Amino acid sequence: MLGFARLGQTQVKAAKGTFERAIELDPVDPLPRLGLGLAKIRLGDLAGGIEDIQIATSLDPNQSLIRSYLGKAYYEEGRDAKAGITLQEAMARIRRIPHPGSMMRSSSRPPTGPSRPCTSCNVP
């Protein structure tokens, strides 16, 4: 998290070092790879940044956030078709959040009485 905080404070070189150290400690964690890729892109190394974000995507292929950053990087590189496909894949992997009203019932027993719309969010 320190690396992302530094990245957010535009301490890009310090963030890059933090991400590199985190990768040394846990090479299979995709988030430091994502951060390193973003830091490299901010430092002007688009190809190197894309490579690290691709590694992050391979470490967690279902993570929509990482895949969306990869799509944005492809777009910056001018690979519009690849960017579009990657962003569509990211959208397909967004976890669906259950409707709040559906969480009130226990899955082990059927609902009793007629179904009513959820009054807290105005969604039937």
The pLDDT tens digits for 2-43 are 888 888 888 999 999 999 999 999 999 999 999 999 999 999
**Quick one: tokens of 40?**
């490299």
| 96-114 mean pLDDT | 50
Burial class of residue 29 in the structure, from the number of CB atoms within 10 Å of its CB (0-12 exposed, 13-18 middle, 19+ buried) = middle
**pLDDT tens per residue, range 73-97:** 999 989 888 888 888 888 888 865 5
pLDDT at 44: 94
pLDDT at 100: 58
Domain boundaries, the chain: 2-95
Angle at 76 between CA 74 and CA 81, to 5 degrees: 45
- Cβ neighbours of residue 40 under 8 Å, at least 6 residues apart? 16, 46, 48, 49, 52
Helix axis angle for 64-77 and 46-59, nearest 10°, is: 160
Q: How many whole angstroms from its chain centre is CA 33?
A: 12
Q: Is it the case that residue 120 has pLDDT exceeding 60? A: no
pLDDT at 111: 47
| 88-114 mean pLDDT | 60
Q: Is it the case that residue 53 has pLDDT exceeding 90? A: yes
Phi and psi torsions of 123, nearest 5°: -120, 130
Helix (H, G, I), strand (E, B) or coil at 82: helix
Give CA–CA dist 22/114, Å, rounded.
Answer: 53
User: What is the CATH architecture of 2-95?
Assistant: Alpha Horseshoe (1.25)
Give CA–CA dist 4/35, Å, rounded.
Answer: 7
